[in-house]
Each structure stands twice: as C-alpha cells, then as structure tokens.
Amino acid sequence: MTAPNESIVVPVALAERAYDIVIGRGAIETLGARIKALRPNAKTVIVTDATVQKHHLDRVTAILTAAGVASSPIVVPAGEGSKNYATFGTVCEAIIAARIERGDLIVALGGGVIGDLAGFAAASVRRGLDFVQVPTSLLAQVDSSVGGKTGINSPQGKNLIGAFHQPILVIADTAMLDTLSKREFRAGYAEVAKYGLLGDAAFFDWLEANWQAVFAGGETSNSMAREQAVAICCRSKAGVVARDERENGERALLNLGHTFGHAFEAAAGYSQRLLHGEAVALGCVLAFEFSARKGLVAESDAARVRAHLAAVGLPTHVRDVAGGVPSADALMDLIAQDKKVKRGKLTFILTRGIGQAFVANDVDPAEVRDFLSEKLS
C-alpha cells in the first residue's frame, strides 16, 4: 500500500465531454469515489491483461467494492498482439455477457494496449459506453490514455481500425509505475521526451537535467520529478486535444517520431523485438536527422536528441533493432499505410529545432527512401 500524495488534477476542456486527469502516488484510492460521483448507480467491467492482473486487479476491485461499485474482470493476454480483431471481439462479447448497459462503465486498467482495446470496445458496444482510463504504464499515463484515440492494429499497419472516444476520467497513479520493468519504463520515457522535442524546449532542458529523478520515483524518493513530468505531458496533450480533438491540424504534431517508428514497429511484427516507445525514440532521432538532411535543423540539435535518448538507454540507430529490419523499399511500403498519408502524399512531423516541430505535407518519397537506405547501410 502506497500512502497517497496530494494529487495534481489536469482538466481536458471538451465542453460537455470535459474530464479530469488525476495524477499522483496513491491516486487510485480515489477511483471508487470518483466513479460513484460521476455515475452513481453504474456497475463496471475491468478490462486488463494477464500481467497487470497480477499487480493491480485485486486492489482496484477492492477499491471499487468499498465504494459500492460492482465490477467484473475481463483479462486478455499481455502485449501488442492483443490489439487485433479476435481479441477485440472477445472483449466485446464479454462486455455484453456481463450485461453492461449504457449507463454503466468500462474501466481500462493497463498500458496503452489495454487503453486502446478497451476504449474501442467501449466506443462500439451498444453504440457507445462510457469508460475510465487507469493507465499503469508511463507511456499510457503521459500519452495514450488522454485524448480519446482508441483502436486495434491491422496486419497492414498500426492503429488503422478504431474510433475517437473520450474517457470520462483518467486516474494516473504514479506508484503503479514502480511495477514496470526498466525496459518498459524507458520505452514510456520516449513519449515524455517527445513532448519536449515537439513544442517545449525548456521541458527538454529540464529532462536532460532531471531524467534520473524521473526514473527513480518510488516511495523512498523525496522528488516529485515523476509527477511533474507526467503532469507537464498531460497538460500539453490536454491543450492540443481541446484545440484539435479529431487531428485536423495541430494534433498531428503529437505524432513526432511515429511515422518512422510505426514502420519499424510493424517490421518487427509488433513484438518484443521493438516496443512502441522504443520505436518512437528511434523515430524521433530519425525525424531530427531527416530534418537536418533537409537543412531545417542544425546537426548539433539532432546529435543532442540522439545523445539524450541513448543515455537513457533507448535505441537511436537502426542497428539497435533486435533481429534487424527489412529493406528501405519494404519500410516505404509500411510508411505508405500510415494514417497521416493523404491522397497518397506522405506527411511527416519534422522540426526546425528542439521544441519546434511542424507538419510537413507532401514529403518526397524518393528522398525518404534514400535517407532510409543510408541509415540501413
């Protein structure tokens, strides 16, 4: 049991669909009371995976029970492989079998995979159920649990099937991150660094000085660095989502590193060879290096990004991908399926400096292919 600290509350301003992100050690203790206040008579199903089940399901169930909120679990295999048609169907059928009605709730207890999968099921069953995000990974706490993007993967690409469906509440208990492996925490940190790289140079400066305190966290640490980092990322994303919920403009900036990253992730078969956050780290480095190649950003900035992510222990070179990667042509085929492609034209998030990302439309595919060929060689 972790003694709760005073929580940080970040609002997501979406008019009648507004909701709060509650951040802090022990914040999970308020889950039952908050659900009771939001939906007084609701019952819930908790969608989680086999790994998170071992660490957190009993505690979350007890918290809901103590508040008089009925719950039943739906447990799926851990890992990106669960973001598929078959598991999505299994979850939907289990929700229906639990007799969850429109006034009831889905609780997504897990990392980004569970948030995306449970959120998409919530958007689909009975044409839309409310859901609560309880992210248990750093990546999910700072990024995927906020903003309403839900979905599953296609064999042809990542997150190609899904819906925008906002949660009614996000509880980001930073104590839950203590159960993550070092590799999983590092992977989540890639999304933390991304927020500095895309639009907040001062935050990236702070991360260079404080990343070890963010990693330390823990009950014995007097530092609030982890909570600060999560809150800064959530405030940044909440602002972007409020201004551009459906990604018609500014929200595309949140995909810095993802066009390259998703291609490498798909090439690795969405497997343990390359975690999503690791792919994002590599993608951010490549985005800066490609921007430098185009004369948009100084080589020193690209080197600084590469050095920081490498110091954290994240992949920064193509050769860092376990098992190798396919040809430049094969990667280009995967990039062509990216969600940001419009009428066949490639869109990349490029940069003019740290904290100065921008949307580049109609990027020349031949230039990208030559760049990837160089990196692969």
Token pair recorded at residue 104: 């009831």
Same domain, 171 and 188: no
Same domain, 84 and 208: no
**Residue 127 a catalytic site member:** yes
Same domain, 242 and 170: no
**Residue 149 a catalytic site member:** yes
Contact 360, 348 (CB under 8 A): yes
Please say which residue of 149, 179, 209 terminates a domain. 179
Residue tagged 């990343």 (tokens): 211
Q: Which of 56, 165, 226, 262 is catalytic?
A: 262
Q: How many domains does the chain have?
A: 2
Q: Output the CA–CA distances (angstroms, integers) from residue 324 to 74, 90, 263, 266, 354, in the order listed.
A: 35, 33, 13, 12, 29
CA dihedral 265, 271, 273, 278 (to 10 degrees): 50
* Structural domain harbouring 146: 8-179
Classify residue 33 by burial, with Cβ atoms within 10 Å: 0-12, 13-18, 19+: middle
Same domain, 198 and 166: no
Q: Which of 258, 306, 308, 340 is catalytic?
A: 258
**Residue 258 a catalytic site member:** yes
Task: Indicate the residue type of 131.
Answer: F
**Residue 237 a catalytic site member:** yes
Q: Output the CA–CA distances (angstroms, integers) from residue 134 to 26, 51, 63, 249, 339, in the order listed.
A: 12, 15, 13, 28, 26
Contact 351, 197 (CB under 8 A): yes
Whether residue 2 lies inside any domain: the answer is no
Q: Is 21 helix (H, G, I), strand (E, B) or coil?
A: strand
| Weakly modelled stretches of the chain, pLDDT under 70 | 1-5, 218-222, 339-344
Per-residue pLDDT, 340: 61
With b for 16 or more beta-carbon neighbours within 10 A and e for fewer, the 183-201 pattern comes to ebbbbbbbbbbbbbbbbbe
Q: Whole-angstrom Cα distance, residue 282 to residue 376?
A: 13
Please say which residue of 138, 153, 179 terminates a domain. 179
Per-residue pLDDT, 65: 98
Closest of 41, 19, 310 to residue 167, by C-alpha: 19
Q: Is 327 helix (H, G, I), strand (E, B) or coil?
A: coil
Whether residue 106 lies inside any domain: the answer is yes
Residue tagged 């190798």 (tokens): 324
Same domain, 187 and 174: no
Please say which residue of 158, 179, 200 terminates a domain. 179
Q: Which of 83, 165, 237, 340 is catalytic?
A: 237
Per-residue pLDDT, 1: 40
Per-residue pLDDT, 33: 98
**Residue 247 a catalytic site member:** yes
Q: Which of 39, 83, 149, 194 is catalytic?
A: 149
Same domain, 254 and 347: yes
Whether residue 196 lies inside any domain: the answer is yes
